[in-house]
């Protein structure tokens, strides 16, 4: 039937479109996969105890509590999330504060070249400041319209869609700006320092 034909071509178009969105070696997953943190238990942080510190090579260091953080302008995002273990979640919804906004408020000095994210479980990861300024990157405080569950890194986590998921720090506590690069937990254990999924920068 012509109707089926239409529907099939629609499904085909959608499938082909999605294929274009999958970096090499990746498979689509229907839902986000919760990866265990480096401590075997997910940390649980109450919002009343939560703080986000921003310091280092910045003119305006910050130490926000939850209410203060939520006063920053936030945006709804729909992004593709690529994990080095070969799964990709397409069209994942988050609400968060753009890292560009945080960078604007903290006012990095000319000496600031790298950003190190620190987390409640002791995890760290590194990204160049330029990379954050030139791409969509944000600190999410909602996932699918709800508070972010512990297993996905709540109350607030980094999301950097254009890099492999290990750069997206969960249970975020601190953002440190510095002159020198400082490879983090996985970057010092064989993962690539940059981690572009389109270039398959999995391991170093």
Ligand X SMILES: Nc1nc2c(c(=O)[nH]1)N[C@H]1C(S)=C(S)[C@@H](COP(=O)(O)O)O[C@H]1N2
Of 54, 72, 79, 83, the one binding ligand X (CB under 6 A) is 83
Using the contact rule CB under 6 A, the part of the chain among 65-73, 95-103, 106-114, 166-174 near ligand X is: 166-174
Q: Which among Mo ion, ligand X, none contacts residue 121 (Cβ within 5 to 8 A by kind)?
A: ligand X
Token pair belonging to 152: 């996905």
Is 90 one of the binding residues for ligand X (CB under 6 A)?
no
Using the contact rule CB under 6 A, the part of the chain among 23-31, 53-61, 99-107, 115-123 near ligand X is: 115-123
Is 126 one of the binding residues for ligand X (CB under 6 A)?
no
Q: Are 155 and 47 in contact (CB under 8 A)?
A: yes
Question: Closer CB to Mo ion, residue 81 or residue 166?
Answer: 166
- Cα(185)–Cα(81) distance, integer angstroms: 20
Residue 74: which residues within 8 A CB-CB, separation 6 or more?
95, 96, 97, 141
Of 42, 138, 166, 177, the one binding ligand X (CB under 6 A) is 166
Residue 130 CA: distances (Å) to CA of 86, 165, 169: 27, 18, 18
Question: Closer CB to Mo ion, residue 75 or residue 85?
Answer: 85
Q: Which among ligand X, Mo ion, none contacts residue 119 (Cβ within 5 to 8 A by kind)?
A: ligand X
Of 64, 166, 171, 177, the one binding Mo ion (CB under 5 A) is 166
Binding residues vs ligand X (CB under 6 A)? 32-35, 37-38, 83, 119, 121, 123, 152-153, 165-166, 168-171, 186
């Amino acid at each position: 039937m012509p109707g089926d034909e239409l529907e099939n071509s629609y499904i085909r178009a959608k499938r082909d479109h999605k294929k274009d969105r999958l970096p090499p070696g990746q498979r689509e997953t229907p839902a986000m996969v919760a990866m265990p943190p480096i401590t075997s238990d997910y940390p649980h942080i109450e919002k009343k105890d939560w703080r986000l510190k921003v310091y280092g090579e910045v003119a305006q260091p910050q130490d926000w509590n939850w209410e203060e953080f939520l006063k920053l302008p936030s945006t709804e995002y729909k992004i593709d999330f690529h994990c080095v273990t070969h799964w990709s979640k397409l069209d994942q919804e988050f609400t968060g504060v753009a890292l560009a906004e945080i960078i604007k408020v903290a006012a990095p000095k000319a000496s600031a070249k790298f950003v190190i994210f620190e987390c409640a479980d002791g995890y760290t990861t590194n990204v160049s400041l330029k990379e954050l300024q030139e791409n969509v990157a944000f600190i999410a405080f909602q996932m699918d319209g709800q508070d972010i569950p512990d297993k996905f890194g709540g109350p607030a986590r980094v999301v950097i869609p254009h890099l492999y998921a290990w750069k997206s720090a969960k249970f975020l506590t601190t953002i440190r700006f510095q002159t020198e690069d400082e490879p983090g937990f996985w970057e010092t254990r064989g993962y690539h320092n940059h981690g572009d999924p389109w270039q398959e920068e999995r391991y170093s």
